[in-house]
Structures are given as C-alpha cells and as structure tokens.
Amino acid sequence: MKVPEIVRSPKQRKLLMSAGFSWMFDAMDVGIISFVVADLTLKWSLTPLQVGFFNSINLVGMAVGAAVAGIMADKFGRKAVLLWTLLIFSIASGLSAAATGFAVLCVLRFIAGFGLGGELPVASTLVSESVASKDRGRAVVLLESFWAAGWIVAALIAYFVIPKYGWQIAFLIGALPVFYALYLRKAIDDSPRFTNQALQTKVQPISLRHRFRTLWAKPHRRSTIMLWILWFTVVFSYYGMFLWLPSVMVLKGFSLVRSFQYVLIMTLAQLPGYFTAAYFIEKFGRKFVLIVYLLLTAVSAAWFGNASTEGMLIAAGICLSFFNLGAWGGMYAYTPELYPTSIRSTGVGLAASFGRIGGVIAPLLVGILVGRDVAIGSIFWIFFVTIIVGVIAVLVLGTETKGKELID
C-alpha cells in the first residue's frame, strides 16, 4: 500500500498520531464498558433490562455530546472542543470507579458519553480539513484505525485486570487521558480551513439556525438524509452487537474469562479491516467501501448469531469485526466531505448524534429481547436487516467524493 502524504509529512503525521491517540482513548473507554457490564452482571445481579439500560445511557450522552460538540466546533474551533471533550470523558471515567450503586454509575456514564460522543466527529473533521484531497479519505480511515487499538487495549485490560483487580481499576485506567489533554493542547493546531473561515465570518458570525437550515437546504438535503440513515443503521447495529458481545458469549455458555479471551481475538481483526478499507477507499471510492463492507457485515452478523460451533462463532466474530469497523472508517471519511467548511462540523456532529439514537435503542432492545428469552440468532437477524437499509441509502442517495476538494 502506498504511504499517504499524511504519513510522510512530519506536521501532518504528528496531527494524525495526536488525534489518533485521543481516538484510541475514546474507544478504550467504550470498550471497557462492554466488559465491565459483563462483570457487573455477575457481581450486582443485573437484569438483562438493566444491562441494556446501562449500555444505552452511555450512548444517550454520546448523542447529546456529538450534537453539541459539532455545533460548538463550528463556532469555537476544532482544537478547543476536542480538548474539552477529552477532559470531560476522562474525568467522568475516573469518577465512575468510585460509584457504589447502579444509578450513580449510570449518571457518570452519561457524562462520560457526552465527552466521548463529542470528541469523535470533531477529531475526524479536524483531520479531514488538514489533508490534501488525494489522501484525505485514507487519512481519516487511518485515524479510525486507532479505534481498533483502543478496543484491543480494553480487551487486554478486561482479560488481565478485571478478573484479578475488579472493574473499578478499569475505570481508573480510563481516566489517564486527562494527562494526554495537556500534551494535546500544545501539540496540534486548528485546521487551516476553519481558521480561514473564522477570519471571513468574524464580522458576521453564522447563526446556529442558519447552519441547521443550510444542512436541509436543497444542495445538501439529499446528503443529509442519506447520512442520517447511514449513521443510524451503522450505530444501531454496532452498539447492539458489540456492547453485548462479551455478554452474548456468556449466554452461549462460555465462562467470563473465556468470553473475554474470544472477544480479544475477534477485536484483533478490526485492524486489518481498517487497513484494507484505507487502501480501497482511495482506489475504488467511498461508496464502494461502504456498500461492500456493510453487505459483508450483514452476512457476518447473521452468521455469528446463528453459529452452532465454537469455531464458527470465532470465525464469524472475526469477520464481523473486520468488515464492520472497515465500514466505520469509510463512514467517518465520507461524512465531512459532503458539507462546506462553515457547517462541516455541525453536519458531522448532527449525523453522528442522530446515529447515536440508534445506539441508544439497540442495547435496550437486545436487553428486552434477551429478557424475554428470544434466541440470539433471531436478534442478530434484526441487525442484518438494519444494515441492508443503510446499504440501500448509500446506493440510492450517496454521491461519490473520491478525489474531490472539500467545499469552502
């Protein structure tokens, strides 16, 4: 694979690595939740509905955070909002370790989710606006690959730390990014596109109402509808499947430690999923990556839910991780390219926020269905159908942006 310019340029390489590590910490925190809830289910005797609610409350915070941070980043800058969101979720994660009851822990996870959800669209917008068009898609997918690294770290923490030292230590580790924010404050600059746009609009700032109306104006309405459907279906399926993954393994009869081990193996497949998507996205385009990887995610979901042997379960889980996370990389690369600079972060943030509604519904829905003894295979067919809806939206409403300059 040809090394993209962002990796060869010292300044842009520093930006990618700096934003990437913040992305990794974000993923680590989200990943830790899925393992912590599996442990808490045993120690606090949580019901399936409580497990679903716990997974969803974090997503409620992420939905609010994505919308607010996206709007704020178009007003105050990508860098400032990135730092604040990083601080918010790190502090809330550390405080989660001190929670003595389910209600308090849920409140803290909402606050942490606010920071987590806010950071992701802002970081992807910052990188997208700082890279040349020929490498932009690949750079954002490489940024997304740090998500896999974060989940791998979370799986390692779950396997080696939680069984021996308890879930509280996992949350304390999740507070470490607060120190990274101090480094990030001096390590990165705001995107040149935002800086130029801010100078042009300093005399007459663009109001929130105007930005929202622009998103739904005729030039962008088709893209906004497509993105909101795409984000909803991808986030719904991802959080419905992956936040429940360790618990599903336990439901299928594996011990907690063995379940963590298998999920770690599946998580490792995320990295090649990202790297292949990073290659194909500049070779064949954004729509190609999204359609192909989502179709194969749907097939993998049906396979995983109905796997009858240990080998099939692991193989299907590996394919699910590979294709689903590759599709996420394509989605984050594609979204900022469909809007002009003045509303780009708002557009990305609101699409992500609408998607998080799907992320809120899915874990709750799985909890309700599991509580009613609905078969895991039947539940995963729901994810199959949902993903196909996202594929149709991209196929019918999507426009290719490969090689095109960002709109100012």
The domain tally of the chain equals: 1
Joined together, the tokens standing for residue 107 give 């409140």
Residue 189, domain member (yes or no)? no
CA distance 21 to 178: 12
* Cβ–Cβ < 8 Å for 87, 283: no
CA 172, distance to chain mean position in Å, is 21
pLDDT of the residue at 76? 86
- Report the CATH number at residue 299: 1.20.1250.20
CA distance 403 to 408: 15
CA distance 90 to 32: 13
Residue 299, domain member (yes or no)? yes
One-letter amino acid of 149: A
Residue 219, domain member (yes or no)? yes
Angle at 401 between CA 395 and CA 406, to 5 degrees: 145
How far apart are the two ends of the chain, measured CA to CA in Å? 30
Closest CA to 282 of 13, 11, 1: 1
Residue 193, domain member (yes or no)? no
Residue 141 CB contacts under 8 Å (≥ 6 apart), including other chains = 274, 277, 278, 281, 329, 330, 332, 333
Q: pLDDT tens digit string along 22-77?
A: 889 988 988 888 788 878 888 898 888 888 788 788 889 988 999 999 889 888 88
- Run of H or E including 404: none
The answer to pTM > 0.85 is no
Give the DSSP letter of residue 372: T
Joined together, the tokens standing for residue 295 give 């179709």
pLDDT of the residue at 206? 67
Residue 133, domain member (yes or no)? yes
Q: How many CB atoms lie within 10 A of CB 141?
A: 32
Residue 209 CB contacts under 8 Å (≥ 6 apart), including other chains = none
Q: Residue with structure tokens 């740090």?
A: 146
Residue 190, domain member (yes or no)? no
Q: Residue with structure tokens 């803290």?
A: 108
pLDDT of the residue at 201? 54
Q: What is the pLDDT along the chain (408 residues), one digit of tens a residue?
A: 444 555 557 777 888 888 899 889 988 988 888 788 878 888 898 888 888 788 788 889 988 999 999 889 888 888 999 999 999 999 999 999 999 899 999 999 999 999 998 998 888 888 888 887 787 888 888 888 898 888 889 888 888 888 888 889 999 998 998 888 888 888 888 877 777 766 555 545 667 788 888 889 988 999 999 999 999 999 999 888 887 777 777 777 777 667 777 777 888 888 899 899 989 998 999 999 999 999 999 999 999 888 877 788 889 989 999 999 999 989 989 999 999 988 888 898 899 999 989 988 988 888 888 888 888 889 999 999 999 999 999 999 999 988 887 776
- Run of H or E including 329: helix 310-334
Q: Residue with structure tokens 């930006």?
A: 15
Largest CA distance in the chain: 65
Residue 225, domain member (yes or no)? yes
Q: Residue with structure tokens 């104006």?
A: 217
Q: pLDDT tens digit string along 215-265?
A: 899 889 999 999 999 999 999 998 888 877 777 777 777 776 677 777 778
CA atoms within 13 A on the CB side of 129: 31
CA distance 13 to 3: 11
* Cβ–Cβ < 8 Å for 327, 275: no
Long-range contact set of residues 37-46: C-beta below 8 Å, sequence gap at least 24? 37/243, 37/246, 37/247, 38/246, 38/247, 38/250, 38/256, 38/259, 38/260, 39/162, 39/163, 39/166, 39/167, 39/256, 40/167, 41/247, 41/250, 42/256, 43/167, 44/102, 46/102
Give the DSSP letter of residue 131: S
Q: Which residues span the domain enclosing 327? A: 5-183+208-397
Q: How many CB atoms lie within 10 A of CB 116?
A: 30
pLDDT of the residue at 3? 46
CA distance 274 to 256: 28
CA distance 324 to 295: 9
With H, G, I as helix, E, B as strand and everything else as coil, classify residue 355.
Answer: helix
CA distance 236 to 386: 8
One-letter amino acid of 3: V
Give the DSSP letter of residue 333: H
* Cβ–Cβ < 8 Å for 248, 38: no
Residue 400 CB contacts under 8 Å (≥ 6 apart), including other chains = 285, 286, 287
Residue 403, domain member (yes or no)? no
